[in-house]
Chains A and B, each alone.
Chain A
Amino acid sequence: MQDVIEGRVWTLGADVDTDGIISGKYLTVIDPEELKKHVFEIALPEFASQAQAGDVLVAGVNFGCGSSREHAPAAMKAIGVGAVVADSFARIFFRNAINLGLPVIEVPGVRAIFEKGDVARIEMGQGRVTNERTGASVRFPPLPPHLLRILEAGGLVEHVRRELAGRAPSAGAKT
């Protein structure tokens, strides 16, 4: 994962629930190509057809609340969401997103400085989100190194694989 993430902004309100991200009727779908067709079908219907890889979502408080489905961040990752920046996240969504390698950054006050179509610049190490159109910015405590390493690896599975491989070759990766 890069230290600086830049992307075109889509905005969302508060309390976007996982049903709004991927409806319950798609829970048996495991193919990411299929999942991404239905992402945000309820919360942001035009997203799936217009999104570009690297787009950034800016949301209000409690993003990802509701049912704890891992499908929600999986679908967002599949369509190529670059990052989600929100005033706050629901607990399980936050965990699932990090564990799948989707950058999620909690930045209280961030929703207020963006409009749809703006360009966001996120400096992970610095802990700053800037609206490149207006110049407005908000700071956040950078993600702890541990979570950054998981994101860098692209998710928990790969992260643990690397860690095991580094520890003891015999106990680590299968040949």
Chain B
Amino acid sequence: MTGSPGHGMTLAEKVLARASGEERVVPGQIVDGRVDLAMMHEQGAQTVAPFHQMGAERVWDPDRVVIAIDHWVPAPTEGAAVLHRILRKFAAETGLPHFYDVGNHGICHQILAENGWVVPGDLAVGTDSHTNTLGAMGAVAAGIGPTEMAAVLALGSLWLKVPSTVQVRVRGSFGPGVTAKDLVLRVLGEIRTTGATYKSVEFTGPTIASLSMPERLTICNMTTEMGAKCGMVAPDDKTYEYLRGTAKHAMHPLWADADAVYERVVDVNVDEMPPMVACPYSPDNVRPLPEVAREHVKVDQVFLGSCTNARIEDLREGAALMKGHKVAPGVRFIVSPASTRIYEQCLKEGIIETFTEAGAVFTNSSCSACFGGNMGLLAPDEVCASSSNRNFPGRMGAKQARIYLMSPAATVAAAIAGEVTDHRPML
């Protein structure tokens, strides 16, 4: 254990102390945390059986439970249809009103963000490993298993081990065409995929303060790839502004103490930082984009989507670059907005037209090609440039397919050039 009496607490420790009603907590301590928000997607179908085995009949607080189906929407297989039906039936039987069903759907993390389900100081849990995304609200947001979710639904609480914290201090300004995605890839290159196992990754510093909420969602999203239990950004005026009018429950913002104890501090300066790419087969295999571009890696498919980077800002940026260009011959370009609301915005702003005129496929909102189980799968030895978060073997289809992770603008440039390329000269 690192912390000792007399020392301050990190942001994650503050949130978990509040959730467990303790005055102070230290890393390694096990607490019983009261949950502010519980989210389930299709994996929540596996929660239903243990929930009943527990003898539970009522959900502890139906206004703090969100179901958002996203992996297979609309259902492409009978199996997916059955999962959806289990959830619909469960929601109807237990009286869960907040079900984002087909037509009102989106990627679960985006649904939580854009509808104000997670607010500063919250403890949020979800049946998806990228629940970390919501740490952008100044909350502890973590993925849990389906059996644990059953206990949460029954009791409104779960046991948690207080994580130690890795502080990532970021300063400097992004050059043109360099984004929050490049920053998080760079940090991942340093912390690696196991460097933050069970830990909280707390982003801080002037550059983080300057990031928009969508950008903060992007960097917290990829703390999952660092092994982290949660990723966090302390709340500020941008957080309150983003949640104004949508926050579903009262905010209780918390901040790290000035004398908080960090297990490790990582300093990053983004001045002069080039765009980054994570090369096959690991998200921490990170290299500067210009260097990879020199190798003329030809792409078969390009994906602009996922909970990492398919918000309206990402799609606007992509469309601005796409305008007046065509998708390279032989390349399939799939664009999938993160929610139905974003889809509608794209429709209004002409973004869908920009992409389809260029030869891209603009799909309904879902996880889409991100995980190789719904659509847009890769054949053996194919190459994909993607704005998503994982590039392990088999992630988007065939085991031998190779995935390069990058920013939204860089994916559009790859679609135009037909190969991984530095988008900055095209801006």
Contacts and interface: CB of A to CB of B under 8 A. Distances in A.
What band does the interface of chain A fall in when counting residues whose beta carbon is under 8 Å from B?
20 to 34
Given A90-B197, A146-B32, A164-B55, A157 B159 contact: no
Interface residues of B, number: 27
Nearest to A96: B145
B388 to A, nearest CB: 19
Contacts of B53: 157, 161
A164 B54 contact: yes
A70 B229 CA distance: 18
Nearest to A174: B55
27 contacts: A65-B194, A65-B197, A68-B145, A91-B229, A94-B161, A96-B145, A99-B148, A143-B30, A144-B29, A146-B32, A146-B159, A147-B30, A147-B159, A156-B150, A156-B151, A157-B50, A157-B53, A157-B147, A159-B151, A160-B54, A160-B55, A160-B151, A160-B154, A160-B155, A161-B55, A173-B55, A174-B55
The 10 closest A-B pairs by CB, nearest first: A173-B55, A91-B198, A160-B54, A144-B30, A161-B55, A161-B54, A160-B151, A157-B53, A157-B50, A160-B154
A150 B159 CA distance: 10
Interface in A136-155: 143-144, 146-147, 150
A160 B58 CA distance: 13
B57 interface: yes
B56 interface: yes
B399 to A, nearest CB: 12
A70 B147 contact: yes
A99 B55 contact: no
A164 B145 contact: no
A164 B56 contact: yes
B55 A70 contact: no
A171 B57 contact: yes
Given A70-B145, A157-B150, 9 more contacts: A98-B159, A146-B30, A150-B159, A156-B147, A156-B151, A157-B50, A160-B150, A160-B154, A161-B53
Contacts of A163: 155
Contacts of B56: 160, 164
Contacts of B148: 95, 99, 156
B28 to A, nearest CB: 8
Contacts of B29: 144
The interface centre, meaning the residue of A94, A96, A156, A174 with most chain B CB atoms within 10 A of its CB, is A156
Contact of A99 (B52, B129, B147, B155): B147
